[in-house]
Structure 1
Amino acid sequence: MSEAQSELEDFIRRIPKTETHLHVEGALPYELLNELDGERFPATPEFRTPGYRYPGFVEFENLLIDHAIVWFNSAERYHLACKRMFEKMVSLNIKYVETSFHLHMIEFIGVDGPEIISAIKSAAPEGLEVKVIGGMVRNGCTEVMRPVFEKLHEWDELDGIDLHGQEWHALEDWTPPLWKRCRDAGKIIKCHAGEFGGPDKIYEALDTLGSRRIQHGVRAVEDKVLVKRLADEGVILDVCPLSNVKLGVFPALEDHSLRELVNAGVVCTISTDDPLCFANDILDEYRALANGLGFSRKELGQFAKNGFEHSQLDSSLKREYIAQIDAAIVS
């Protein structure tokens, strides 16, 4: 490793960081599956090798579900997985995480939603603040889930909601009222948009759901008016560059739209999305931004600061972590 690379590595490790776009089920530590059944889950499956690319989103989603449901069958299993996951985050100097759990697991495994949230939060070690987001799919308002959705705004331990999954499904009538109830209740309001869907899905998230936190949003560059609006209105894009490449949203990292978005003044954070499927961690993301997209230490630091500035952390902690980042940039 050259001296410059060594200094970059030290900088990336030293700065405090956030994860604001992370799925619990998609962040299941793969080694837990390997320990559970090494024959079925070999140490290095093909989909976790560096050069692997998913044929499409459906294939990715099916693989994720097939692996996640083997482990996540109880609140206790959520706790055990998150304990391992959060311990690694602390070792990477992550201080704050917003992680979504798939609300439809309530129907799949018959476990109470607040019980799962409690299991996730109780796994957080000292020094890591965890916010739990309830994620749901666009066509997921089943007979079982409808009464759950109607009460989400009353769940005290639920910090926010997110719409994820297959982006091409139409937005159904139940969704805007749910987003309004949760927004009025002070929840974090997110929406996956502009990954496999185009700019129209981002407009939908902004104007129909009232979301100012967009998960991905990287195809906004196809509409220059939209990009300017995102910048002018301070909309936050929680971007996962390596995920976008592995899923074929961009053919290569060098083609990613992040540089164009940042140059246009759009506020972006950096996260890992689904480490189970992409075999990545937050250090990999920052390394890729520096080595593949040419972002400077100052720019990497700004991504980290964005995560804290738009977090739900206490203001004194925000200032402390941002000050640590600023000190690392100039050291």
Structure 2
Amino acid sequence: MSELAKELEDFINRIPKTETHLHVEGALPYELLTEMDEERFPEIPHFRKPDFRYPNFVEFENLLIDHAVVWFNSAERYHLACKRMFEKLVSLNVKYVETSFHLHMIEFIGVDGPEILSAIKSAAPEGLEVRVIGGMVRNGYTDVMRPILDKLHEWDELDGIDLHGQEWLDLENWTPPIWKRCRDAGKIVKCHAGEFGGPEKIYEALDQLGSKRIQHGVRAVEDKALVKRLADEGAVLDVCPLSNEKLQVFPSLEEHSLRELVDSGVTCTINTDDPLCFANDILDEYRALAQRLGFSKSELAQFAKNGFEHSQLDRSSKSEYIRQIDEVLAQ
């Protein structure tokens, strides 16, 4: 490793970081599956190899679900997986995480939602602030889920909500009222948009859901007026560059829109999305931005600062982590 590479590695390791776009089920530590059944789950499966690319979102989604349901069958299993997951984040100098769990697992495994929520939060180690987001799909307003989704704003321990899954599906009428109730209750309101759907899905998130936290949003560059609006209104894109490459949102990372978004004044954070499926961690993301997209250390530092600035931490904690980033940058 060259001296420059060592210097970059040291910098990425030392700066405090956030993860604000991380799915619990998609972050299941793969080694837990291997420990359970080594024959069924070999140490390096084909989809975790560096050159693997998912042919489409549905195949990715099916693979994720097929692996996640093997493990997640109880609140205790959520706790055990999150304990391992959070310990790894601490080792990478992550200080704050917003992680979403798939609310429809309540219907699938028959476990109470607040029980899962408590299991996740109780796994948080010292030194890591955890906020939990409830994720739902666009066509998930079933007879079982309807009374649950309608009361999300009353869940004290739930920090926010997100709309994820197959982005190209229509936004159904039940969705905006839930987002409004949760927004009025002071919860984070997110929406996956601008990944497999175009700019129109980002407009939908902004105008119909009132969400200024967009998960991905990378196809905003197809509409220059939208990019300007995102910058002017201070919207935040929680971007996952390696996920976008693995899912072929862009042909390669080198063709990613992140540089254009940043240069246009759009606020972005850097995250991992679904490490179970992509075999990535937050250090990989920062390395790739420096080595393959030419982002400088000061720009990497700004991504980290953005994560803290738009977190739910108190002002003194935000200021302290931003001070630490500046201190490492100065050295």
Fold equivalence (TM over 0.5): yes
What's the secondary structure of 2:150's corresponding residue?
helix
What's the secondary structure of 1:99's corresponding residue?
strand
2:239 maps to what in 1? 239
> Is 1:14–2:18 an aligned residue pair?
no
Distance in 2 separating the partners of 1:7 and 1:271: 22
RMSD of aligned residue pairs (Cα, Å): 0.3
Q: How does 1:190-205 map to 2 (within 5 A)?
A: 190-205=190-205
> Is 1:141–2:149 an aligned residue pair?
no
1:287 maps to what in 2? 287
What's the secondary structure of 1:9's corresponding residue?
helix
Give CA-to-partner distance per residue, 1:128-186, whole Å, 9 cap, x none: 00000000000000000000011100000000000000000000000000000000000
1:313 maps to what in 2? 313
Q: Could you tell me which amino acid in structure 1 is paired with residue 254 of structure 2?
A: E
Distance in 2 separating the partners of 1:260 and 1:271: 18
Q: Could you tell me which amino acid in structure 2 is paired with residue 121 of structure 1?
A: K
Distance in 2 separating the partners of 1:226 and 1:292: 26
Q: How does 1:148-163 map to 2 (within 5 A)?
A: 148-163=148-163
Give CA-to-partner distance per residue, 1:53-86, whole Å, 9 cap, x none: 0010000000000000000000000000000000
Q: Could you tell me which amino acid in structure 2 is paired with residue 224 of structure 1?
A: K
1:128 maps to what in 2? 128
What's the secondary structure of 1:320's corresponding residue?
helix
Distance in 2 separating the partners of 1:230 and 1:292: 25
Q: How does 1:75-154 map to 2 (within 5 A)?
A: 75-154=75-154
Distance in 1 separating the partners of 2:117 and 2:298: 36
What's the secondary structure of 1:40's corresponding residue?
coil
Shift in Å at residue 5 of structure 1? 0.4
Shift in Å at residue 314 of structure 1? 1.4
Long gaps (5+) in structure 2: none
Give CA-to-partner distance per residue, 1:8-45, whole Å, 9 cap, x none: 00000000000000000000000000000111100000
Shift in Å at residue 315 of structure 1? 1.1
Distance in 1 separating the partners of 2:328 and 2:48: 32
How does the TM-score come out when normalised to structure 1?
Answer: 1.00
Shift in Å at residue 282 of structure 1? 0.1
Give CA-to-partner distance per residue, 1:239-291, whole Å, 9 cap, x none: 00000000000000100000000000000000000000000000000000000
1:175 maps to what in 2? 175
Distance in 2 separating the partners of 1:69 and 1:313: 32
Shift in Å at residue 330 of structure 1? 1.2
Distance in 2 separating the partners of 1:283 and 1:290: 11
Give CA-to-partner distance per residue, 1:171-215, whole Å, 9 cap, x none: 000000000000000000000000000000000000000000000
How does the TM-score come out when normalised to structure 2?
Answer: 1.00
Shift in Å at residue 216 of structure 1? 0.1
Q: Could you tell me which amino acid in structure 2 is paired with residue 72 of structure 1?
A: F
Long gaps (5+) in structure 1: none
Distance in 1 separating the partners of 2:285 and 2:160: 25
Aligned residues: 331
